[in-house]
Structure 1
Amino acid sequence: MGPARRRLEGADKDYPARSFRACLRRRGIKATIPERVDQLAGRRRRRERPCGFDRAVYRRRNVVERCFHRLNQWRGIATRYDKQPGRYLAAITLDSTLIWLDT
Structure 2
Amino acid sequence: MSLSDAIAKRDQKLLERKSLDDQLPALKPRSKERERIIVEKKISDLDKEIQKDNSEIKKLEIEDAEKQKKLAEKAAERAAEEVAKEEAANAAEEEARKAAEEKAAKEAADKENQQMA
Q: Same fold (TM over 0.5)?
A: no
The structure number with the bigger radius of gyration is: 2
More helix, by proportion: 2
TM-score (norm 2): 0.27
TM-score (norm 1): 0.29
